Amino acid sequence: MFLINRHRQVGSIRSPLARLVSSTSSLSIPVPWGSIAAVQWTLGDGPYTDWVAVHGLLDNAGTFNKIIPGLPEGIRVTCIDLPGHGLSSKLAAGSLYYMLDHVATLQRVKDYLGMEKCVLLGHSMGGWICGLYAAIMPEQVLGLVSIDGIKPISRYSDGMIPRIREYFGTLEKLEAKRNEKGMSEEEAFDKLFKGTNMLHGQGAITEEAARCLLTRGIIKSASGSGFVFTRDIKHILKDLYGIAHEYNTEFAANIRCPHLLVRASAENAATAWGKEKEAMEEVLSIYNRNKLFTLADVLGSHHVHLNNPERVLPHIDTFVRCHQLSN
């Protein structure tokens, strides 16, 4: 049985557009390598439509703290920490992380919680994962909401050999490193805040938004001398993350459920990568063949859902009501 810790009425992280949050529950879901940590939100008094929310690379379930309180009532959202993120278990030493393995993790979570069908909500890499799942398991997905996550990075044959060579070189250095040194909470916050803005561009995340990620992003060090980040350092080996472009187009063509893509106006790490802009436009043209697809462009950065949830929520609200994705 999964572990649950219930809390009534969340106050400190309520959105300015918040409706009634009936409760939040902390979950620990067993998996073969340890556990998947999650936070489950219920909105209103029920009955509920189940949603599963998946965060982006190096983030955690806290990425949804600002937006979930503003969702329509009649929804129960389970926000997971992906393996090696937040409070979820890391993979064993020597194991590596791959995109499609995260899709399998999503299936494990749904199976364990007894969800036959659900709505998927993802940000950035979480949106990629949810999109892959929607293409592979269409009968299990009621709807898909992706926030600034158009598709997995497209990979091409001409760049693979140098990328793999660099990947192995970086992996060797990471495995030779000693454990991270303990930091004060403010030092950890400073690293998280500056690191996110360095990755996605200055202004990508506000200080208030970054603190939503810090709560699940650090723990006391084993020695007790300060804090360390909870994410597995191997996740910086993102250079191999991605899928062959022809596979991406095939996945895109197989997403047939109601599909909302909220696209932020600012550049981010994915849009600045190689041939990604052209690849994204091709995939968007495929999405547009789905009569249930909606593209909503919003002013803001990659973490617009955390920085400015009021810009994203009206689009989700309209989408949910149009496709009856809440009870």
- Which of 88, 124, 154, 301 is catalytic? The answer is 124
Q: Which residues of 103-124 are buried (b: 16+ CB within 10 A; e: fewer)?
A: bebbeebbeebeeeebbbbbbb
H helix intervals, 201-295:
207-217, 245-253, 276-287
Non-local (6+) Cβ contacts of 90 within 8 A are: 34, 83, 84, 232
pLDDT at 281: 96
Chain centroid offset of residue 4 CA: 22
Q: What is the model's pLDDT at position 239?
A: 63
Backbone torsion region of residue 59, taken as left when φ is above 0, otherwise alpha when ψ lies between -120 and 50, otherwise beta: beta
Backbone angles phi, psi at 203, to 5 degrees: 90, 5
Three-state DSSP state, 263: strand
- Cα 65 to Cα 218: distance, rounded to the nearest angstrom: 17
CB 166 within 8 A of CB 284: no
DSSP state of 142: E
Is residue 124 annotated as part of the catalytic site, yes or no? yes
Residues found in the chain = 327
Residue reference for tokens 């009936």: 22
* CA atoms of 28 and 2, how far apart (whole Å): 6
Cα–Cα distance, 90 to 71 (Å, whole number)? 31
| Structure tokens, 269 | 């790490």
CA dist 128 → 57, 73, 211, 240 (Å): 11, 26, 24, 15
Q: Which residue blocks in the chain are alpha helix, DSSP H?
A: 99-112, 125-136, 157-176, 185-200, 207-217, 245-253, 276-287, 304-307, 309-323
What spatial distance separates the first Cα and last Cα of the chain, rounded to whole Å? Answer: 26
pLDDT tens digit at each of 327 positions of the chain: 334 443 333 333 444 445 557 779 999 999 999 999 999 999 998 899 999 999 999 999 999 999 999 999 999 999 999 999 999 999 998 899 999 999 999 999 999 999 999 999 999 999 999 999 999 999 999 999 999 999 999 999 888 888 888 899 999 998 888 777 899 999 999 999 999 998 888 888 999 999 999 999 999 998 888 999 999 999 988 666 679 999 999 999 999 999 999 999 998 887 777 789 999 999 999 999 999 999 999 999 999 999 999 999 999 999 999 999 999
DSSP 194-223: HHHHHHH-TTSS-HHHHHHHHHHHEEE-TT
Sequence-separated (6 or more) residues with CB below 8 Å from residue 25: 4, 5, 6, 7, 39, 40, 42
Beta-bridge partner residues of 227: 183, 220
DSSP letters, 39-66, are: EEEEESSS--EEEEEE--TT--GGGGTT
In degrees and rounded to multiples of 5, residue 289 shows phi and psi of: -70, -20
